[in-house]
């Protein structure tokens, strides 16, 4: 080990010691007797990016996080409904153009299950 390595180690060693104390912003876990994580202590850990400049209280942070996830869930539901409608429209178009056919039950009603049609010779 040369003198440059010794200097670098002493400088970086001190820098990492200071950095370790600064980076301790983990959430404080709530654990039961067996060590299973059951929750997080309120108002610990890093603040999510969408919390912004609200009053920094546990109640306001919880309200903002709940609202954020609620909006994400409703967007996910809207996307799924839109995909279902688009898929049904595509299947009806494929049936109309002769690319697929809907399977029927014994009463002759559509089952909602489509099957590809083979090429006619």
Q: How far apart are CA 48 and CA 66, in angstroms?
A: 12
Q: Average pLDDT for residues 49-56, to the nearest whole number? A: 70
Determine the pLDDT at residue 23.
Answer: 47
Neighbours of 87 (CB within 10 A): 10
Q: If pLDDT is split at 50, 70 and 90, which confidence band does 15 have?
A: low
Q: How far apart are CA 97 and CA 107, in angstroms?
A: 24
Q: Average pLDDT for residues 93-104, to the nearest whole number? A: 88
1 DSSP assignment: -
What would the two tokens of residue 14 be? 């001190």
Q: Could you read off the pLDDT of 18-44 as tens digits, one per residue?
A: 555 544 456 677 888 888 878 777 777
What's the pTM value of the predicted model, to 2 decimals? 0.48
């Amino acid at each position: 080990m040369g003198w440059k390595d010794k200097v670098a180690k002493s400088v970086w060693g001190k820098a990492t010691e200071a950095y370790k104390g600064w980076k301790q912003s983990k959430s404080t876990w709530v654990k039961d007797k067996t060590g299973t994580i059951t929750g997080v202590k309120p108002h610990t850990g890093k603040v999510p990016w969408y919390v912004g400049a609200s009053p920094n209280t546990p109640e306001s942070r919880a309200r903002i996080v709940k609202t954020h996830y609620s909006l994400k869930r409703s967007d996910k539901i809207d996307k799924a409904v839109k995909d279902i409608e688009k898929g049904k429209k595509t299947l009806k178009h494929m049936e109309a153009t002769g690319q697929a056919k809907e399977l029927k039950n014994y009463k002759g009603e559509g089952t909602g299950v489509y099957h590809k049609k083979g090429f006619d010779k």
